Structure 1
Amino acid sequence: MAASTPLTQMTPRARPIFPPSSTDASSTIRPILRKPGGSILGVRKRSLDDDGGRDDDDTAMPLSSPIKKRKTVMFNENLNVVKRIGGSKTVDEAKRDIMLALDGHDRHDSEDYDRIKELFAPQSRRGSGALDGMEGDDETEDALAYVVALTGLAKRVDRKYPGLVKSVLRCAWLERDDNFARAYIQLMAALSTAHGSIFAQVLSMMVDKFAKAPPARVPGFALVSSETKKERLHLGLRYLLELFPAGGRIVLNLVESKFPYTEEPKAAHMMYIDHLLQLKNDRPDLERDIMELILSRLVKLDVEMTLDLENEGDDTTRAVMRQMAAAERLDDDGESDADSVASDDNDEDDEETRRVTLIKSKLETMDATMDLLFSIYTPIFETPDSEAALATFQDLLSDFSNVILPNLKSRHTQYLLFKFAMKSHRLMDLFIGTLFNLAFESNRSPAVKQAAVGYLASFTARGAQLSSEQVQTIAETFLNYIDHYRATHASCRGPDVRRYGQYYAYFQGLLYIFCFRWRDLIDRESAPASLDWEDTASFIGLDLPWVPWLKTRLQANIASKLNPLKCCSPIIVEEFARLSHHLRLLYIYPQIEKNKNVQLSQFFTNSYATGGALRDSGVAYDDEKWTHLEACFPFDPFQLPVSKRWLDLDKTYISWQRFAILDRDDDTDAEVETDAEIDDETGDEGEDSEDEDDDKVSIQEDTTTDEGGNEM
Structure 2
Amino acid sequence: MTTETPLARRLASPTEVSTIKPILRKPTPLLGVKRRSDDDDDDASFQLQSSPTKKRKTVMFNESLNVVREISSKSLDEAKNEVRKALEGHARRIDGDYDNLKEVFAPPRVKKYEDDEESNEDEDEDGTKAEDLLVYVVALTSLAPLVGKKCSGLIKNVLRCSWLERDDNFARAYIQLMAALSSVQGSFFAQVLAMMVDKFTAQRGMPMAVKGFPPVDAETRKQRLHLGLRYLLELFPAGGKIILNLVATKFPYTEDSKAVHMEYIDHLLRLKKDRPELERDIMELILARLVKIDVEMTLDLENEEDEDTQAVWKLLQDTKDEDESDAESELSDDEDGEETRRIKIAKSKFETMDAILDLLFSIYSPIFEDPDSPEAVETFQDLLSDFSNVILPNLKSRFTQYLLFKFAMKSHQLMELFIGTLFNIAFESNRPPVVKQAAVGYLASFTARGAQVTSEQVQKISKTFLDYIDHYRATHSGCRGPDVRRYGQYYAYFQGLLYIFCFRWRDLIDRDLLPPSLDWDDPASFIGQDLPWMPWLRSRLQANIASKLNPLKCCSPIIVEEFARLSHHLRLIYIYPQIEKNKNIQLSQFFTGSYATGGALRDSGFEMDTEKWTHLEACFPFDPFQLPVSKRWLDLPNTYMSWKPFALLDRNEDDEDDDDGETGEETEAEENGSIQEDTATDDENNYD
Superposition TM-score, scaled by structure 2 size = 0.83
CA contact (8 A) 1:302 1:412 kept: yes
1:390 has 2:382 as partner: no
1:122 has 2:110 as partner: no
1:497 has 2:484 as partner: yes
How far did residue 134 of structure 1 move?
4.0
Identity level (%):
70
How far did residue 50 of structure 1 move?
9.1
- Work out the CA distance in 1 between the residues paired with 2:303 and 2:576: 33
CA contact (8 A) 2:485 2:613 kept: no
- Work out the CA distance in 2 between the residues paired with 1:387 and 1:63: 42
1:515 has 2:498 as partner: no
How far did residue 347 of structure 1 move?
6.3
- The correspondence of residues 497-576 of structure 1 with structure 2, limited to 5 A, is 497-576=484-563
- Work out the CA distance in 2 between the residues paired with 1:296 and 1:339: 27
Name the aligned partner's letter for residue 119 of structure 1: V
How far did residue 123 of structure 1 move?
4.8
In the superposition, relative to structure 1, how do residues 669 and 143 fare at CA in structure 2: closer, same or farther (>3 Å)? Answer: farther
In the superposition, relative to structure 1, how do residues 131 and 411 fare at CA in structure 2: closer, same or farther (>3 Å)? Answer: farther
- The correspondence of residues 406-485 of structure 1 with structure 2, limited to 5 A, is 406-485=393-472
Quote the residue 1:97 is aligned against: 82
What's the RMSD between the two structures over aligned residues? 3.1
Q: Which of 610, 616, 619 pairs up with 1:629?
A: 616
- The correspondence of residues 181-220 of structure 1 with structure 2, limited to 5 A, is 181-213=171-203, 216-220=208-212
Name the aligned partner's letter for residue 122 of structure 1: P
How far did residue 584 of structure 1 move?
1.2
In the superposition, relative to structure 1, how do residues 50 and 286 fare at CA in structure 2: closer, same or farther (>3 Å)? Answer: farther
How far did residue 99 of structure 1 move?
3.2
Name the aligned partner's letter for residue 86 of structure 1: I
- Work out the CA distance in 1 between the residues paired with 2:509 and 2:229: 61
> What count of residue pairs does the alignment treat as equivalent?
613
- Work out the CA distance in 2 between the residues paired with 1:483 and 1:234: 59
How far did residue 63 of structure 1 move?
2.6
How far did residue 474 of structure 1 move?
0.6
Quote the residue 2:214 is aligned against: 222
CA contact (8 A) 2:553 2:582 kept: yes
1:402 has 2:389 as partner: yes
Name the aligned partner's letter for residue 97 of structure 1: E
In the superposition, relative to structure 1, how do residues 588 and 80 fare at CA in structure 2: closer, same or farther (>3 Å)? Answer: same
Residue range with higher mean Cα deviation, 543-552 or 529-538: 529-538
1:644 has 2:611 as partner: no
How far did residue 503 of structure 1 move?
0.5
- Work out the CA distance in 2 between the residues paired with 1:652 and 1:67: 50
1:592 has 2:579 as partner: yes
Name the aligned partner's letter for residue 227 of structure 1: E
In the superposition, relative to structure 1, how do residues 291 and 555 fare at CA in structure 2: closer, same or farther (>3 Å)? Answer: same
- The correspondence of residues 18-167 of structure 1 with structure 2, limited to 5 A, is 41-42=26-27, 45-46=30-31, 63-73=49-59, 75-82=60-67, 84-102=69-87, 105=90, 110=95, 112-128=97-113, 134-135=121-122, 139-167=129-157
Superposition TM-score, scaled by structure 1 size = 0.80
Quote the residue 1:5 is aligned against: none
- Work out the CA distance in 2 between the residues paired with 1:132 and 1:337: 44
How far did residue 443 of structure 1 move?
1.7
- Work out the CA distance in 2 between the residues paired with 1:323 and 1:355: 13
- Work out the CA distance in 2 between the residues paired with 1:589 and 1:466: 31
- Work out the CA distance in 2 between the residues paired with 1:667 and 1:173: 74
Name the aligned partner's letter for residue 449 of structure 1: K
CA contact (8 A) 1:40 1:253 kept: no
In the superposition, relative to structure 1, how do residues 253 and 136 fare at CA in structure 2: closer, same or farther (>3 Å)? Answer: closer
How far did residue 112 of structure 1 move?
4.2
| Structure 2 SS opposite 1:406 | coil
In the superposition, relative to structure 1, how do residues 462 and 53 fare at CA in structure 2: closer, same or farther (>3 Å)? Answer: farther
- Work out the CA distance in 2 between the residues paired with 1:37 and 1:565: 35
How far did residue 342 of structure 1 move?
3.7
How far did residue 669 of structure 1 move?
8.6
- Work out the CA distance in 2 between the residues paired with 1:234 and 1:348: 39
In the superposition, relative to structure 1, how do residues 284 and 486 fare at CA in structure 2: closer, same or farther (>3 Å)? Answer: same
- Work out the CA distance in 2 between the residues paired with 1:191 and 1:134: 31
Quote the residue 1:304 is aligned against: 296
CA contact (8 A) 2:166 2:216 kept: yes
In the superposition, relative to structure 1, how do residues 105 and 347 fare at CA in structure 2: closer, same or farther (>3 Å)? Answer: closer
| Structure 2 SS opposite 1:72 | coil
CA contact (8 A) 1:88 1:142 kept: yes
- The correspondence of residues 151-300 of structure 1 with structure 2, limited to 5 A, is 151-213=141-203, 216-300=208-292
Quote the residue 2:672 is aligned against: none
Quote the residue 2:565 is aligned against: 578
Unaligned runs of 5+ in 1: 1-35, 55-60, 603-619, 672-678, 683-712
CA contact (8 A) 2:89 2:95 kept: yes
CA contact (8 A) 1:476 1:549 kept: no
CA contact (8 A) 2:203 2:218 kept: no
CA contact (8 A) 1:48 1:200 kept: no
How far did residue 46 of structure 1 move?
3.7
CA contact (8 A) 1:306 1:410 kept: yes
1:546-605 Cα offsets, whole Å, 9 max, x none, are 112210000000000100001111111111111111111111111111111113479xxx
- Work out the CA distance in 1 between the residues paired with 2:324 and 2:53: 57
| Structure 1 SS opposite 2:311 | helix
In the superposition, relative to structure 1, how do residues 207 and 40 fare at CA in structure 2: closer, same or farther (>3 Å)? Answer: farther
- Work out the CA distance in 2 between the residues paired with 1:453 and 1:634: 11
